[in-house]
Amino acid sequence: MSRLIAFAKRLPWSIAFVILLNLTANLVFPATSWADSSNLGINNSHLTACPTSPNCVVSQNADSKHAIDPISYHVDRDTAKATLLKVLTVVPRTEVVENTDNYIHALSKSRIFKFTDDVEFYFPPNESVIHIRSASRVGDSDLGVNRRRMEQIRLAMQDLNI
């Protein structure tokens, strides 16, 4: 009986803690979603521009805070694409969900909260570059995760002499 009384005394504090944690999470990671089918893919030979939030990078038509260089390659396009697909298999918590002739879309999940980021790659015809875009689906700041992920993928491609 004394355990039940002790539990009952702690219960209001536990509930208050859960409510506070939920409110804090909603402030830090608001439930706004940038990713739907109209915000992904290739449109007029370009990846979609980033939203105004800082949790996105793109290599095409971006302002200075969202800009990132495309990945250059010096082999044929099919080899570059096959190599990129191999690299993506070792990127933690990342899964390719779409793979067409000139486009790859992968989902990458954060380790702790399992937030999903959309990671896109576009192989334009007659160019030896891979245009890239990585964007968080929710929240505002990603603490630079999307940029670091893309730079790590770039380094992996360079290490493979692509």
* Beta strands per DSSP E along 29-115: 42-43, 46-47, 56-58, 71-72, 94-99, 103-109
CB atoms within 10 A of CB 111: 8
Q: pLDDT tens digits, residue range 99-128?
A: 999 999 999 998 888 899 999 999 999 999
Residue 1 binned pLDDT confidence (cut-offs 50, 70, 90): low
Predicted structure pTM score: 0.77
CATH architecture of 32-159: 2-Layer Sandwich (3.30)
Percent of the chain residues past pLDDT 90, beyond the cut: 67
Residue boundaries of the structural domains of the chain: 1-30, 32-159
The residue among 107, 159, 103 whose CA lies nearest residue 131 is 103
Q: Which two tokens stand for residue 107?
A: 């989902």
Q: Report the alpha-carbon distance of residue 161 to residue 86 in Å, rounded.
A: 14
